[in-house]
Amino acid sequence: MFLQTLQNFMNEAGLSLVAGVPLLLAAGCWARCLRKWSFRLLPLAALPALLAVLLVSPGLEIQVKWFFMGGTMGIDASARIFLGVSACAWLFAALAAGEKFRDDPHRHRFAGYFLASMGGNFGLILARDILDFYLFFALMSFSAYGLIIHNRTAAAAKAGRVYLVLVFLSELAMFTALVLLSARGEVPLAGAIPGADLSPLLIILLFMAFGVKVGALPFQSWMALSYQQAPVPGATALAGAMVNAGIIGWLRFFPFGHVVLPGGGVFFIVMGAAAALYGVFFGLYQDKPGRVLASSSISQMGLVTLIAGYGLLSEDAGMSALPLMTLFAVHHSLAKTSLFLGYDLVDRGGRPADAILAAGLLVPCLSLAGLPLTSGAMIKGALKELAHLGGDAWYVFGAVFLPLSSVGTTILMLHCIGLLRKRSRAGPRGKTTVIAWLWVLSIAGVVLVPWMWQPLREMAGYSLRARTVVQSLWPVGLGAVLAWLWLNAGGRLPGRGRPSADFDDLVRWVHVRFLYMLTLVTDFLDRLRDKIVREPFRQRGFRRFIRSRGPARLERMLGRWPVVFLFYLLLSVVLFMMMLTAAYQKSEVG
């Protein structure tokens, strides 16, 4: 009895410390007497997560009575994988941040947001019920805003503004989806939503809620701005760990393998294919490494969306899509962590030999492109098999689209290498011993993990067939040739000028068009009134208001943060009251 109680306590303490240690250190960053030690302990914050991956028995699920109103935490097979790769990404980013901000007077501010984001990321991976997942997801999302605006420049403020608007949209979509689910009864997490409850509205809400995090169209605009403006260690965490939160959300809420949703599957496939192509074309217009790496993430997450779509076409495809989405997240996290560490090395003034820099960057780049013997080739081979389960039409689509995406990814990543090499030659020399070793270790992880880790090694058999090797090799070779021709031509697309429009430009365009249409409508109403009433004195007050600075004043008033938060709070209260009303009606019927 005593041993059982002691074991339960150790399990509860172990899982609680995974998210608890980063959150405690984050709280210490805001206390003057503790912030110095909290910053020094920054790399240790990820160690409880790594220990939990190694020591906690799989399938463990416990109720932590003192944590978030008795929330349930657990670690299943997928949670173990996500926690392991996320902890590694956070550890590398923390070690890089420790060296970068050692002499920064605002290092405690960065560390506070960094640790809060880490705690939220770890917590949502372990959460086993809806409330805990929602709270940890919100904590991670809003804390990441502090990482993006850390430099306090106008560009960073713009990136943070765009990110925050989309985070509000994501949180509102998730809250609405949870209200709809709760109104139909108590729904656990872990993909146990009944298929009958997945209405088209709910599918769209869940796509929006987690699509913002993975950069799905049309919610991708925050990535290019944030990855470029955030300090590189923060961007490493965003790309290597936090982006996986969207994949985890889809895995937790969609019952892959237990439901067939052809309409939802087609929607995900179309949006994923569009994002995969958009990321490539958008990235080729960029001339900054952070933006190009963000474009690559948009393209790669489009493939994850594609996998989710295939998983909704049939039950067999759903069972295959579950592990494939998890393994794709590992493959993408390893590659992006390595690329951002290489970017950080160049950004700090590291000037390795040109051939060494190019070779080190080529390893994760070619893995993303799907070169044979890499994790990318293994994943894309499994994706072709998954497309076959969707039917002949979808198999043909996959057989055509996947090589096309590999060609585009190869061109995009070689463009990124060209930008980093140019930056390395032009930048000043700096001390980069720690970041250089981190970069080497990350490259080793990209190379060795696919062959040392059993789930990926099982996919190697199909990817090593002679036919599969040829099918994986020619898109990369064609992409390399096209990239060489394009770079020799100056690396410019026809008509290329300023970087393509971002979220602010879109909002400004919509605003101008809306006011123009409103003016046309008021003019028409004025003319119609004059013909009907024929008053000698025309009262055109409303039209004068529209043409004057009235809308600008109204826009400034509505754009103030207190007003935005007030509207968001009122909407949340209304939705919460709807949920309580539905629950009360359900109890009355019962």
**What's the pLDDT score for residue 498?**
42
**Which tokens belong to 385?**
């098999």
Give the SS3 label for residue 273: helix
For residues 138 and 516, which has the higher predicted lDDT (pLDDT)? 138
Average of per-residue pLDDT across 6-32: 78
**What letter represents residue 461's amino acid?**
G
Helix (H, G, I), strand (E, B) or coil at 60: strand
| pLDDT of 569 above 70 | no
Kindly report which listed range (188-192, 415-419, 424-428) carries the lowest average pLDDT score.
188-192
Distance CA 514, CA 520 (A): 10
Burial class for 512, CB neighbours closer than 10 Å (0-12, 13-18, 19+) = exposed
Confidence of residue 587 (pLDDT cuts 50, 70, 90): very low
CA dihedral 103, 106, 112, 114 (to 10 degrees): -70
Q: How far is CA 148 from CA 35, 159, 163, 230, 512, in A?
A: 20, 7, 9, 4, 28
Find the mean pLDDT for residues 116-142.
Answer: 88
Residue 469: partners with Cβ closer than 8 Å, 6 or more residues away: 372, 463
- The top-scoring range by mean pLDDT among 95-104, 196-205, 557-566 is 95-104
pLDDT greater than 60 at residue 424: yes
pLDDT reported for residue 535: 45
Residues near 118 by beta carbon (within 8 Å), at least 6 away in sequence: 22, 45, 46, 90, 94, 237, 241
Q: Could you tell me the two tokens for 243?
A: 């982006």
Q: Average pLDDT in the 16-32 region?
A: 85
DSSP-based three-state secondary structure for 502 = coil
Q: How many residues does the chain have?
A: 590
pLDDT at residue number 384: 80
pLDDT in tens, 439-480: 889 888 888 888 877 776 666 666 667 676 777 788 888 888
Quote the pLDDT of residue 526. 61
User: Crossing angle for the helix pair 392-426 and 466-488, nearest 10 degrees?
Assistant: 40
Which comes out higher in pLDDT, residue 402 or 460? Answer: 402
Does the pLDDT at position 540 exceed 70?
A: no
> Which tokens belong to 364?
């994760």
Q: What is the pLDDT of residue 247?
A: 92
Token pair for residue 166? Answer: 């989309």
The whole-angstrom separation of Cα 12 and Cα 487 is 55
**Above pLDDT 90, what percent of the chain?**
10
67's torsion region: left (phi>0), alpha (psi -120 to 50) or beta? beta
- pLDDT at residue 475, as a whole number: 84
Dist. CA 302–CA 308, nearest whole Å: 10
pLDDT at 193: 59
Name the band, by pLDDT with cuts 50, 70 and 90, for residue 536: very low
Tens digit of each residue's pLDDT (9 = 90 or more) over 66-99: 565 567 788 888 888 999 999 999 999 999 888 8
User: 12-16, 168-172, 258-262, 347-351: which range is least confident on average?
Assistant: 347-351
pTM: 0.80
Task: Determine the pLDDT at residue 575.
Answer: 60
Per mean pLDDT, which range of 17-31, 59-73, 297-311 is the poorest? 59-73
Q: Is the pLDDT of residue 520 over 90?
A: no
Q: What is the structure's pLDDT at 537?
A: 41
Average pLDDT score, the chain: 77
Predicted confidence band at 584 (pLDDT cuts at 50, 70, 90)?
very low
> Is 50 exceeded by the pLDDT of residue 420?
yes
Distances (CA, A) of 467 to 10, 382, 461: 51, 14, 12
Q: What is the dihedral of CA 202, 208, 214, 218, to 10 degrees?
A: 140
Instruction: Read off the pLDDT of residues 238-294 as tens digits, 9 standing for 90 and up.
Output: 998 999 999 998 988 888 877 778 888 888 988 998 899 888 888 888 888 888 999
- Report whether the peptide linkage leading into residue 551 is cis, meaning its omega lies within 30 degrees of zero: no
pLDDT reading at 122 higher than 90: yes
**Per-residue model confidence (pLDDT) at position 499:** 44
What pLDDT score does 47 carry?
92
Tokens standing for residue 324: 């494939």
Residue 291 CA to residue 286 CA, distance in Å, equals 6
Phi and psi at residue 62, to the nearest 5°: -130, 160
* Residue 337: closest CA among 229, 450, 236, 213: 236
Task: Out of 48-62, 223-237, 392-406, 559-573, give the one with best mean pLDDT.
Answer: 223-237
pLDDT tens per residue, range 359-398: 888 889 988 888 888 888 888 888 888 877 766 666 677 6
56, 73 Cβ separation under 8 angstroms: no
> What are the residue ranges of helices labelled H in 220-288?
221-229, 232-237, 244-253, 262-284
pLDDT of residue 243: 92
Determine what percent of the chain is predicted with pLDDT higher than 70.
71
Predicted local distance difference test score (pLDDT) of residue 501:
45
Quote the pLDDT of residue 93.
Answer: 92
What tokens does 581 get?
A: 């009303």
Paired tokens of 242:
């936090």
Structure-block tokens of residue 265? 């599957």
Task: Compute the average pLDDT of residues 145-155.
Answer: 88
Question: Of the candidates 107, 92, 217, which has an alpha carbon nearest to the alpha carbon of residue 151?
Answer: 107
Token reading at 441: 């270790």
* Residue 283, CA atoms < 13 Å, CB-side half-sphere: 32
Which is higher by pLDDT, 539 or 523? 523
